[in-house]
């Protein structure tokens, strides 16, 4: 009998999961560019648009605890391949839907279906790669998401006149089906890191994660800084640039492209240099602290109208990219068998924050407009409140980090 060929984890594990996360992030941010078409075709208010778009985030968040249980019990291969079929059903419904309700349901199905793409990748990496590679893998998988976000900016803006937004979602349906098959038939099924505990025992472990003080060091900035970024990147970036900075839709798409390019390059930098930087004393924890600080400073400059929009949004993308290191830094405090539940519990709060902020920003913008605020002033006041909340969470993170040195 011929000897079994060794598994190349980069080809059989990393690339399939990277393809899944690429589509997940593309779908998360696609509405930022098609927002004018959706608003015009469906006659949506800002609050309506926020709710429709953020249904993705709500479904995504709601499934995080069950997802962690499934990943730790059945492994990432089966879980992600199955859920991507749900996402494909959602993109198909979005392509053919005719009412705001149908599109909201479709966005919810998409969010549920791609909810495992990053967490399953982390679980798969923990099963197939050594511990010292995890920070680099985090950067690499996040770079694939950055490429998805990049695709959902200028390339999508160029594709819309040719395909229309419905044609784009029809194409995404076929891509999701192809990636689901790739993951199922390529990724090896591993028993290492798979929990055989009862459901009750697994839920008890989730309670233990939530009761752990170190969890609440990372949760507030992830919920408000990273969650706020997802809310803005996924919907409100283009409306801000058009209504406050006075850009055309094409110019706004160019700035969004710069933002997403910054994310992509930052994640590639983390993937390439994380190990060497750590050896030089620039640890992932320091990168995380510096990144959050840069994200806050760039937003403050946007509110003050300082500097070119392209540069400020690029800096915002660079800074917020460090937030992805929170997953591996937090997981290091827990046993490997809990890794799926640790990352999905953190992700739960992140996406609750993103949903609440994405919808809430629209509600507040509408409310301030009804109270007599001009549109640019309503946007500035809304984003200023968001920045205050983010700064408070960053101060808490600094306090807790220094307290536990």
Is 194 domain-assigned? Answer: no
3-state secondary structure of 122: helix
Is 1 domain-assigned? Answer: no
d(CA 288, CA 291): 5
d(CA 80, CA 286): 32
- DSSP letters spanning 325-360: HHHHHHHTTS-GGGHHHHHHHHHHHHHHHHHHHHHH
CATH code of the domain containing 141: 1.20.1250.20
Is 229 domain-assigned? Answer: yes
Longest dimension (CA), the chain: 79
- DSSP letters spanning 194-224: -----HHHHHHHHHHHHH-TTHHHHHHHIII
Is 2 domain-assigned? Answer: no
**Virtual CA dihedral for 253, 259, 262, 266, nearest 10 degrees?**
-140
Which helix H or strand E contains 54, and what residues bound it? helix 46-62
Report CA 311 to chain centroid distance, whole Å. Answer: 22
d(CA 256, CA 262): 10
Q: Which domain holds residue 47?
A: 9-184+199-403
Is 190 domain-assigned? Answer: no
Q: What is the structure's pLDDT at 6? A: 52
d(CA 397, CA 50): 29
Report CA 77 to chain centroid distance, whole Å. Answer: 20
Task: From 23, 60, 49, select the one nearest 355 (Cα to Cα).
Answer: 60
Is 4 domain-assigned? Answer: no
Q: What is the structure's pLDDT at 23? A: 97
Is 193 domain-assigned? Answer: no
Decide if 298 contacts 266 (C-beta within 8 A).
no
Residue 64 to residues 345, 349, 382, Cα–Cα distance (Å): 6, 9, 28
Q: What is the structure's pLDDT at 385? A: 97
Burial class (CB in 10 A: 0-12, 13-18, 19+), 371: exposed
d(CA 365, CA 401): 35
Helix ranges, 63-99 (H) = 64-74, 76-96
pTM above threshold 0.85: no
Decide if 205 contacts 60 (C-beta within 8 A).
no
DSSP conformational letter for 99 = S
Q: What is the structure's pLDDT at 79? A: 96
* Paired tokens of 92: 């198909």
Task: From 290, 287, 253, 255, select the one nearest 270 (Cα to Cα).
Answer: 287
Is 331 domain-assigned? Answer: yes
- DSSP letters spanning 226-266: IHHHHHIIIIIHHHHHHHTS---HHHHHHHHHHHHHHHHHH
d(CA 14, CA 208): 30
Per-run averaged pLDDT (10 residues), the chain, 405 residues = 57 93 94 89 88 91 87 90 98 94 95 94 85 78 90 91 95 98 90 60 82 94 96 91 93 92 88 82 90 97 94 96 88 80 87 92 95 96 98 96 76
First-residue to last-residue Cα distance in the chain:
55
**Virtual CA dihedral for 320, 326, 329, 331, nearest 10 degrees?**
-160
d(CA 232, CA 320): 12
Q: What is the structure's pLDDT at 199? A: 64
Q: How many domains does the chain have?
A: 1
């Amino acid at each position: 009998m011929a000897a079994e060929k060794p598994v190349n984890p980069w080809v059989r594990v990393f690339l399939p999961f990277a393809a899944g996360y690429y589509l997940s992030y593309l779908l998360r941010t696609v509405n930022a560019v098609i927002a004018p078409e959706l608003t015009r075709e469906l006659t949506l208010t800002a609050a309506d648009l926020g709710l429709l778009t953020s249904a993705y985030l709500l479904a995504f968040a709601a499934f995080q605890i069950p997802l962690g249980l499934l990943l730790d019990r059945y492994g990432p291969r089966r879980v992600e391949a199955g859920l991507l079929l749900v996402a494909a059903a959602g993109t198909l419904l979005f392509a053919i839907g005719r009412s705001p309700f149908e599109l909201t349901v479709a966005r919810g199905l998409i969010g549920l279906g791609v909810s495992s793409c990053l967490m399953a990748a982390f679980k798969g990496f923990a099963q197939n790669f050594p511990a010292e590679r995890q920070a680099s893998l985090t950067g690499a998988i996040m770079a694939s998401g950055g490429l998805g976000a990049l695709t959902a900016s200028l390339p999508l803006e160029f594709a819309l006149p040719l395909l229309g937004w419905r044609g784009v979602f029809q194409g995404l349906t076929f891509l999701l089906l192809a990636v689901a098959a790739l993951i199922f038939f390529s990724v090896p099924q591993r028993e290492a890191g798979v929990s055989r505990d009862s459901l009750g025992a697994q839920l008890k472990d989730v309670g233990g994660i939530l009761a752990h003080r170190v969890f609440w060091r990372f949760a507030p900035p992830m919920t408000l800084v990273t969650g706020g970024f997802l809310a803005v990147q996924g919907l409100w970036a283009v409306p801000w640039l058009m209504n406050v900075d006075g850009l055309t839709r094409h110019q706004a798409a160019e700035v969004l492209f710069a933002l997403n390019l910054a994310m992509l390059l930052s994640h590639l930098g983390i993937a390439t240099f994380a190990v060497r930087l750590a050896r030089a004393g620039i640890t992932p924890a320091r990168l995380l602290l510096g990144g959050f600080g840069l994200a806050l400073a760039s937003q403050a400059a946007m509110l003050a109208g300082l500097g070119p929009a392209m540069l400020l949004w690029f800096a915002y993308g660079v800074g917020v990219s460090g937030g992805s290191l929170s997953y591996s830094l937090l997981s290091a405090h827990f046993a490997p068998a809990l890794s799926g539940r640790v990352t999905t519990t953190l992700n739960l709060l992140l996406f609750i924050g993103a949903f609440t902020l994405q919808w809430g920003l629209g509600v507040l913008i509408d409310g301030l407009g009804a109270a007599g605020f001009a549109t640019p002033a309503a946007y500035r006041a809304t984003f200023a409140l968001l920045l205050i909340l983010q700064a408070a969470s960053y101060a808490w993170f600094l306090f807790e980090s220094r307290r536990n040195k």
